[in-house]
Structure formats: C-alpha cells, structure tokens
Amino acid sequence: MAGLEVDISAEFLKNFIPETVYLVEGEIPVSAPEETSSVPVQPVEVHTELNATSPATVAAPAVPEAPVGKTPAPALPKFPKKEASPLQQKYKITGQNQKGVAILVTLPDDEFAQLPQLQFLQKILSAIGLRPEDVAYVNNVSGSIALFEDLLQHLQVNYIISFASRIDTALPHEKFTLYNPVTVGNIPVVFSQALNMLEHNVEHKKLLWGALQKVFTV
C-alpha cells in the first residue's frame, strides 16, 4: 500500500478505528502520548496493513442521498384495471328476458325508462303471445349501428325486433329491409319504423303485423 501522511492523535484513532491495529514487521510503531501530555505528536510515515476481514475494511452499503430541499413524491397507489365491456358502453338493458326476445330501440333515457309501460308496445307483444317479462328492452345508447355479435355475447337472444335501430354483423345474411324478416345464424330479425311513428300509421302497422306473423307463427 502507498504511504499515507497523517496527523494522528490518540483520541482520533480511538474514534475512527476502535479495533486493534497490527503493524507489519519492520515498520515503526507509533507510541500514543499520554492523555495529560500537551506535546503535539510529530507526523510520521506509517505503513499499515489491515486484515481483509476486519470490520474497518468492509465497505458499508451506499445509501442514496435525497436532493437537498426536495422531498421525494410518494408513489401513486395502483388499482386493478377494469375493462368496460362493449355492452356497458353502447347499450342499456332492462327486462327479465324469459324467452330471449330482444326489443332493440334508440331512445333518450327518459323515454326508454317508460318503455315497459308503453301500452302500444305491450299490445304488439301481446298480439304475438309475449308478456312484458318475456322480453329484454335494449337501448342503443350510442346511436351507432348495433353489432349482432355484441348482443349475442352478453344477452340470451332467440329473436330480435328492432324499432328504428340498425344492426350489422359479420355473418352471412340477406339484405336488411323494413318488415322483411331476415335470419342471422338461426335468429330471426325483424326491422320496423320507430314506435312513435308506427302508432299513428295504419299502413306500417299492417306491414309490421305481417312480418311478426311469419316469425312467431300467429
């Protein structure tokens, strides 16, 4: 080891190196002056070799210092990410749906809330042998084209009656037209004008009745 020039006092050595220090043979020992002596110790060149396993030679783990004047910001808590399904984003559904009949509409929330009590609709359902609890009322909230596959994924569907709400699908099918039942997979789909338009139009009522008769055999 290279020589080290130090100004050493006994008290300094006691505080810095509490262990016994061994000098290599042939080196000059340093005698510590008595505590009562006021004579300064002359600097001497000391060559020391410490045991490699001595605590004095073991480096303490480095502790990173925080920047002066800055308090580390606490980490934000992590919450599990929840994915909203397409159905929750696009549709609102009510009804017991005991027979898997989806009544698809595109209405404001207040009108949709009154749909199960709408007498004109209930008369249509009653005419084809359905009760209010047999159907699911599905509101296409976004107003965009409803996906047939979305409805099947999240809802039991045996029939679809769509009142002024368009549907698209990747499955092969005939062209969708008003009052012309089309089978997608094995599910009949009937398209109609909006309920508020049907209620006051006898001709469209007759066309819808003819389409429903073909699907429900009434």
Domain boundaries along the sequence of the chain: 1-57, 88-216
Q: For 13-26, how does the pLDDT look when each residue is reduced to its tens digit (9 = 90+)?
A: 454 445 555 545 55
Q: For 128-182, how does the pLDDT look when each residue is reduced to its tens digit (9 = 90+)?
A: 999 999 999 999 998 889 999 999 988 999 999 999 999 999 999 999 999 999 9
For the full predicted model, state whether its pTM sits above 0.75.
no
For position 51, what pLDDT does the model report? 47
In order, the DSSP letters of the chain are: ---EE----HHHHHHH--SPPPBPTTSPP-PPPPTT--PPPPP-EE-B---TTSGGGSPPPP-PPPPTT-PPPPPPPP----PPPHHHHHEEEES--TT-EEEEE---HHHHHTGGG-HHHHHHHHHTT--GGGEEEEEETT-SPEEHHHHHHHS--SEEEEES--EE-SS--PPPBTTB-EEETTEEEEEE--HHHHTT-HHHHHHHHHHHHHHHT-
In the chain, % of residues over pLDDT 70: 59
Rounded mean pLDDT, 48-75: 50
Q: 4 falls in which pLDDT band (50, 70, 90)?
A: very low
Is the predicted pLDDT of residue 100 greater than 90, yes or no? yes
Q: Which fold has domain 88-216?
A: Uracil-DNA Glycosylase, subunit E (3.40.470)
